[in-house]
Amino acid sequence: PKVITLPGDGIGPEVTAAAVEVLREVAPDVTIEERPIGGLAYEAHGEPFPQVTQDALKEADAVLLGTVGGAHDSPWNKLERRLRPESGLLALRKALGCYANLRPVRVQPGLEHLSPLKPQLARGVDILIVRELLGGVYFDGDRKIDGDTAYNTMRYTTAEVERVAKVAFWAAEQRRGRVTSVDKANVLEVSELWRRDVQALRDREYRSIHLNHEYVDSVAMLIVADPSRYDVIVTENLFGDILSDLAAVIPGSLGLMPSASLGDGAGLFEPIHGSAPDIAGKGIANPAAAIMSVGMLLRHGLKRSDAANHVDRAVALALREHPTRDLGGTADTRTFTRAVLESLG
Amino acid sequence: PKVITLPGDGIGPEVTAAAVEVLREVAPDVTIEERPIGGLAYEAHGEPFPQVTQDALKEADAVLLGTVGGAHDSPWNKLERRLRPESGLLALRKALGCYANLRPVRVQPGLEHLSPLKPQLARGVDILIVRELLGGVYFDGDRKIDGDTAYNTMRYTTAEVERVAKVAFWAAEQRRGRVTSVDKANVLEVSELWRRDVQALRDREYRSIHLNHEYVDSVAMLIVADPSRYDVIVTENLFGDILSDLAAVIPGSLGLMPSASLGDGAGLFEPIHGSAPDIAGKGIANPAAAIMSVGMLLRHGLKRSDAANHVDRAVALALREHPTRDLGGTADTRTFTRAVLESLG
Ligand SMILES: CC(C)[C@H](C(=O)O)[C@@H](O)C(=O)O
Ligand SMILES: CC(C)[C@H](C(=O)O)[C@@H](O)C(=O)O
């Protein structure tokens, strides 16, 4: 099988290099090829998702992404929208047809103290957020700034709702069998369609799943006040962007959060943290989330769950024995990665 | 001066009655008239914002609202959208021209233990969220469900952005002089306009204010991980709905959260908690937020800051000496209200 890596900007190349070492160790038969994305791709090729990258994806079985984007004051942010690093990311998701973004939020036993929440609230939290990734207000439709007025259109179709809801129901079947669908149906027509279609799919094909519907404002509260009430959360693109980042603070470090984006073709696997330009190139970035993304790549992309489990266990061990600075420890990128490799080898 | 009360549904009537007692005590010259809103207004008049209420507002100097909406499985939720309780609330805001919703989030000294956050994170939090309340995806424009497709339009104009940003800058001048404007400018054109116009207004008229811009997903994280970094937050309607509810959990009880909605005419003052149908009519609802909303009504609606300060102090004292059940105490609605009245008298 073939994996394309897209290291990207900031700390992306460092954490991706660490992740690739781990991938080579557990799956030596995999062919790995690297391509540019984001700001550095713009510098080299004049666009953030260049043809050379697009072509390579056609043969990929899975894609491992680093991080994309510059500092707050980067000149990249002043480019016209379609040339900015983030547009490369959106185009990549679209090219791969990745409509379902999976973000597990798990508080590792023994690491409760890292959470901003009281330990008794953080303990045992195990949520999977499934975010729709191609539609809603992110879609390419009617959008513009016209002098003193700007608008975007939030849109969903039944087909878009059903395909991502299926992923959520399927995931819940492997977990605790509960799905919370999040919307703002008391205000938005789009949410009314969302709620109707998710419920109809459940009633038609997933009767064993316990489904409930909650408003996005209420979920934003409850995910902090009582996170243990959630198993699988499924929601549209913008709500998912906000809620998945919010939930990601519960374990206490973004450095612990991998993600998988699944859809029509090859899946896309990436840490959820940003490009952290302030620490880029210093060799101190925490590669745990990138390595955990390799775990998700093995499980969902290459269907090798044994190898995935090995990686997950090795990361958990390394986190306990060689925590990085963001976790209050002293390990740098190299030390942490070596610890993972040793416990794998 | 004249105040119209709209007790609404669920626990609305109980907490509004308590708030009215306090208002009469500190402002005996105020005329108070009650009108229906929400689900009960629909039952009585066939619509959630009936003419009899609309007419009364024309002579109001301020409006005190209770809570609106039925239980999860209420038949009101099955009505066509324009007849539902929430539509009454949206129509009320619009009729009053209330474009700026102010939500103070303050952790009271000595009550840090109520927060879901670690006490060291909760201590000293003092944020004012200013939410735009009439525009964005809530506005009346292009929206519909059409078979298998639904859409809503998110829209803003420069005039809408500037008027709410002015409220935020004005509020920051009375506080610590810092405003964080929240958007999703890396994806949305509407946010690009928002960011541009807020910055231009700052540069033109509020040079002493320190303004920065952050993405909504990032703020959702940081408001939990590091809430003390915020002074005033200003944002559009939907983001403000989510973030203000999220921030409201920090003090640990929605029962402590008042709000003010200001605009062209009379201001609207209301607790942010819901109608809590499960405990309605039992006399145990915490009326603190409704009474604190009287404080905001006195300060912003009637420009009586001395009376407002008296109310705020009396509530703080009552919270310490007679906490209600949601705060781990035993006081019922009556006992708590009497405690406030005694310390005022
Ligand atoms: C960078 C941005 C376009 C992106 C998004 O909003 O999808 C990011 O916030 C994410 O969540 O991956
Ligand atoms: C009930 C609903 C329409 C309302 C809103 O979203 O504005 C509520 O959530 C609020 O925040 O006051």
DSSP A131-169: EE-SSGGGSSSSEEEETTEEEEEEEEEHHHHHHHHHHHH
The tokens for B86 are 């929430």
Residue B30's closest CA among B38, B39, B22? B22
- The number of residues in chain A equals 345
CB distance from A82 to chain B under 8 Å?
no
How large is the average pLDDT for residues A25-50?
A: 97
**Residue (of B64, B18, B105, B22) closest to B308 by Cα position:** B22
Find the Cα–Cα–Cα–Cα dihedral B278, B284, B285, B291, rounded to 10°: 170
**Minimum-distance CB partner of B154 among A154, A243, A245:** A154
**Percent share of chain A, pLDDT over 70:** 100
Which pLDDT score is estimated for A139?
A: 87
Angle formed at CA B343 by CA B341 and CA B345, multiple of 5 degrees = 65
What is the dihedral sign for C-alpha B17, B76, B256, B336?
Answer: positive
pLDDT at A108 over 90: no
Mean pLDDT along residues B129-133: 98
Q: Which residues of A touch B193 (CB under 8 A)?
A: 145, 148-150
Residues A36, A3 share a domain: yes
Classify residue A338: in a domain, yes or no: yes
Residue B110: is its pLDDT beyond 90?
no
Question: Integer distance in angstroms from the first to the last C-alpha of chain A?
Answer: 22
Q: Which pLDDT tens digit goes with each residue over A331-341? A: 999 999 999 99
- Tell whether A124 and A196 lie within a shared domain: yes
Return the ∠ at Cα A320 (arms to A318 and A323), rounded to 5°: 75
- List CB contacts (< 8 A) between B189 and chain A: 143-145, 150-152
In this predicted model, which residue has the larger pLDDT, A11 or A111?
Answer: A11
Q: Average the pLDDT over each of A192-201, A250-259, B2-11 and give the range with the smallest value.
A: A250-259
Rg (CA), chain B: 20
CB B268 within 8 Å of CB B261:
yes
pLDDT at residue A23 is higher than 90: yes
Residues B223 and B252: their CA atoms lie apart, in Å, by 14
**Distance (Å, rounded) from C-alpha A142 to C-alpha A144?**
7
Q: Domain tally for chain A?
A: 2
* pTM for the whole structure: 0.94
Question: Residue B124 gets which letter from DSSP?
Answer: T
Task: Locate B7 and state its tokens.
Answer: 């007790």
Q: Quick one: tokens of A269?
A: 């696997």
First to last CA, chain B: 22
Residue ending a domain, among A222, A252, A282, is A252
Q: Is residue B264 over pLDDT 90?
A: no
**How would residue A145 be classed by pLDDT, with cut points 50, 70 and 90?**
very high
Check whether B345 has a pLDDT greater than 90.
Answer: no
Same domain, B230 and B299: no
CA separation (Å) from A54 to A34, A59, B155, B162?
A: 12, 10, 33, 42
> Residue A40 — very low, low, confident or very high, per pLDDT cuts 50/70/90?
very high
* Cα A228 from Cα A221, distance rounded (Å): 13
From B205, B231, B252, the end of a domain falls on B252
The answer to whether B149 and B142 have CB atoms below 8 angstroms apart is no
Q: What SS3 class is residue B71? A: coil
Q: Are residues B24 and B57 in the same domain?
A: yes
Nearest to A48 by CA among A208, A259, A275, A204: A275
Could you tell me the pLDDT band of residue B107, with boundaries at 50, 70 and 90? very high
Residue A187, ligand 2, Cβ within 6 A:
yes
Give the residue-averaged pLDDT of B301-330: 94
Assess whether A222 and A115 both reside in one domain: yes
Q: How confident is the model at residue B12 (pLDDT cuts 50, 70, 90)?
A: very high
- State CA B307 to chain mean position distance: 20
| Mean predicted confidence (pLDDT) in B132-142 | 91
- Which amino acid belongs to residue A61? D
Q: What is the pLDDT of residue B254?
A: 84
**Given A190, A225, A241, which is nearest B116 (Cβ)?**
A225
Instruction: Report if residue A150 sits inside a domain.
Output: yes
Section B287-303 average pLDDT: 97
Pairing of β B31-34 and β B2-8: parallel
Contact between residue B170 and residue B205 where contact means Cβ atoms under 8 Å apart: no
Looking at residue A175, what is its pLDDT?
96
pLDDT score, position A157:
98
Shortest-distance Cα residue to atom 4 of ligand 2: B86
pLDDT, tens digit (0-9, with 9 covering 90-100), for A302-321: 999 999 999 999 999 999 89
Residue where the block lists tokens 């995931």? A171
Rounded distance between C-alpha atoms, residue B254 and residue B268, angstroms: 18
pLDDT in tens, B144-175: 999 999 999 999 999 999 999 999 999 999 99
- Average of per-residue pLDDT across A149-153: 95
CB-based contact (8 Å) between A52 and chain B? no
My answer on whether B216 and B329 are in the same domain is: no
**pLDDT over 90 (residue B127):** yes
* pLDDT (0 to 100) of residue B334: 97
Same domain for B128 and B93: no
Is residue B270 domain-shared with residue B342, that is, in the same domain? yes
Average pLDDT over every residue of B40-67? 97
In a domain, B259, yes or no: no
Q: Which residue has the tokens 């690093």?
A: A85
- pLDDT-derived band at B266, boundaries 50, 70, 90: very high
Assess whether pLDDT exceeds 90 at residue B73.
no
- Rounded CA gap, A102 and B166, in Å? 40
Task: Say if residues A147 and A285 touch (Cβ distance below 8 Å).
Answer: no
Ligand 2 mean position, distance from CA A306 (Å): 47
User: Which residues, numbered 239 to 268 in chain A, qualify as contacts with chain B under a Cβ-Cβ cut-off of 8 Å?
Assistant: 239, 241-243, 245-246, 248-249, 254
Query: What pLDDT band is residue B42 in, cutting at 50, 70 and 90?
Result: very high
Q: pLDDT tens for residues A213-235? A: 999 999 999 999 999 999 999 99
Residue B81 confidence (pLDDT) = 87
CATH number at residue A119: 3.40.718.10
**Token output for A104:** 């597990």
pLDDT, tens digit (0-9, with 9 covering 90-100), for B244-258: 999 999 998 888 899
Residue A80 within any structural domain of the chain: yes
Ligand 2: which residue has its CA nearest to atom 8? B241
Same domain, A193 and A335: no
Asked if residue B220 has pLDDT above 90, the reply is yes
Q: Which two tokens stand for residue A225?
A: 């006040």
Q: Residue A188: list chain B partners with CB under 8 A.
A: 137, 143, 152
Q: Is residue B258 in a domain?
A: no
What is the phi/psi pair of residue A42, to 5°? -60, -45
Binning chain B into helix, strand and coil, the percentages to the nearest 5 are 50, 20, 30
- Supply the pLDDT for residue B255: 86
What's the rounded mean pLDDT across residues A272-279?
94
Least Cα distance to A118 among B252, B243, B255, B248 occurs for B252
Q: Are residues B106 and B248 in the same domain?
A: yes
d(CA B77, CA B70) in angstroms, rounded, equals: 8
Strand A258-263's sheet: what is its strand order?
A31-34, A2-8, A62-67, A267-271, A258-263, A98-106, A126-132, A232-235, A178-183, A210-215
pLDDT score at A243: 98
Identify the H or E element spanning A45: helix A38-45
- Percent pLDDT > 90 in chain B is 91
Based on the fold, state whether residues B55 and B150 are members of the same structural domain.
Answer: no
Tell the residue nearest (CA) to atom 11 of ligand 2: B241
Under the banding of pLDDT at 50, 70 and 90, the label for residue B269 is very high
| A257 located within any domain | no
Domain identity same for A37 and A78: yes
Question: Is the CB of residue A152 less than 8 Å from the CB of residue B154?
Answer: yes
Residues of B belonging to the active site: 138, 184, 217, 241, 245
Measure in Å the smallest separation between the Cα of B247 and chain A Cα atoms: 8
Q: How far is CA B65 from CA B34, B153, B280, in A?
A: 10, 28, 16
A117 pLDDT more than 90: yes
Whether B328 is in a domain gets the answer yes
Contact A280, A40 (CB under 8 A): no
Domain span including residue B188: 102-252
Cβ-proximal residues to B161 (8 Å cutoff; 6+ apart), any chain: B132, B193, B194, B197, B198, B201
Choose one of B231, B252, B273: the last residue of a domain.
Answer: B252
Residue type, A172: A
Cα(B25)–Cα(B341) distance, integer angstroms:
7
Q: Could you tell me if residue A187 is inside a domain?
A: yes
Mean pLDDT over each residue of chain B, to the nearest integer = 96
User: Residue A110's pLDDT band (boundaries 50, 70, 90)?
Assistant: confident
Q: What is the mean pLDDT of residues A235-255?
A: 94
